[in-house]
Amino acid sequence: MNYTFQFTEVWRELPYLLGGAAVTLQIAFITFWCGAFIGIFGALAKVYGGPISKRVTSYYVTFFTNTPALVQVFLLYYALPDAGVLLSSMAAVLVGLTLNAGAYLTEILRAGVVSVRVSEMEAATALGMSRLQLLRYVMLPHIAKTIYAPLSNFFVWLVLGSSLAALFGVEELTGRAINVSTASLRSIETFTIVAMIYVVLTVLASGSLALVGRLAFRVKAKVF
């Protein structure tokens, strides 16, 4: 068993791979914010909604959190053309991951909605706080404390989860890694470097999120 590692060919492709990392971050960003949009409505429906909307959201959440994102995207990508909707591979991945993220974010945001207590709101109104003050001094600290850490963890999870886009031919980090490894036949080297890029990417993401959390919301989030 003698294998000589040769990183030179892969190093040459580093800018190409880093471009893929940018696409990965884009996918994570888009799905995170669109998912958060779904999540806010889902969380409000789950806490304050009527019986029907409560039931519908909980079906949505249970179904999407208990099945793999990969098969969900498969279903979108291969079954929707039968119904006359043609999605590009990127669009299918974005829609699928957004729906998936929406389900998880509904659960996370629900915890935030629940953390605001009615009695505290009443006390704040009794003290003569305006709506804006109420939001800023009473609701936000509670919400931030409960949801900031899970949210930033979930963003990191999305950065990793977006790698499934490679299986649909989207050229994000993993997809470009597959391209490089098939072109250079230096598979171990390529995927080692790509793994390192992912590590740096997620450490940067969780580090900067922890910093923002500490400065803006006084939340102590762990990086490691």
**CA 63/CA 55 separation, integer angstroms:** 12
Q: Select from 12-20, 31-39, 58-66, 141-149 the region that touches another protein (CB under 8 A).
A: 58-66
Q: Taking contact as CB under 8 A, which single stretch among the options 36-44, 48-56, 65-73, 130-138 is the one that binds another protein?
A: 65-73
CB of 190 to another protein, least distance (A): 9
Q: Tell me the H-state helices in the chain.
A: 8-12, 14-48, 51-65, 69-79, 89-115, 118-126, 131-133, 140-161, 173-184, 187-212
Give the one residue of 40, 44, 134, 160 binding another protein; rule: CB under 8 A. 160
Say how far apart CA 62 and CA 200 lie, in whole Å: 33
Question: Rounded to an integer, what distance in angstroms lies between the CA atom of residue 132 and that of residue 147?
Answer: 20
- Residue 71 within binding range of another protein, rule CB under 8 A: yes
Side-chain-facing half-sphere of 159: CA atoms under 13 Å: 20
Give the one residue of 75, 111, 123, 211 binding another protein; rule: CB under 8 A: 75
Q: Cα–Cα–Cα angle for 203, 209, 211, nearest 5°?
A: 100
Distance CA(112)–CA(36), nearest Å, equals: 13
Distance CA 36, CA 174 (A): 25
> Interface with another protein includes 52 (CB under 8 A)?
no
**86 is a contact residue toward another protein (CB under 8 A):** no
| Per-residue contact string for residues 10-49; x = within reach of another protein by CB under 8 A | ----------------------------------------
By CB under 8 A, residue 133 contacts another protein: no
List 5, 82, 126, 215, residue binding another protein (CB under 8 A): 82
State how far the alpha carbon of 125 is from the alpha carbons of 18, 30, 42, 48, in Å: 51, 37, 27, 20
Among 18, 55, 59, 62, binds another protein (CB under 8 A): 62
- Choose, by CB under 8 A, the member of 29, 134, 202, 212 that binds another protein: 202
Contact residues toward another protein (CB under 8 A) are 1, 3, 62-63, 65-72, 74-75, 78-79, 82-84, 156, 160-161, 163-164, 166-167, 174, 177-178, 181, 187-188, 191-192, 194-195, 198-199, 202-203, 224
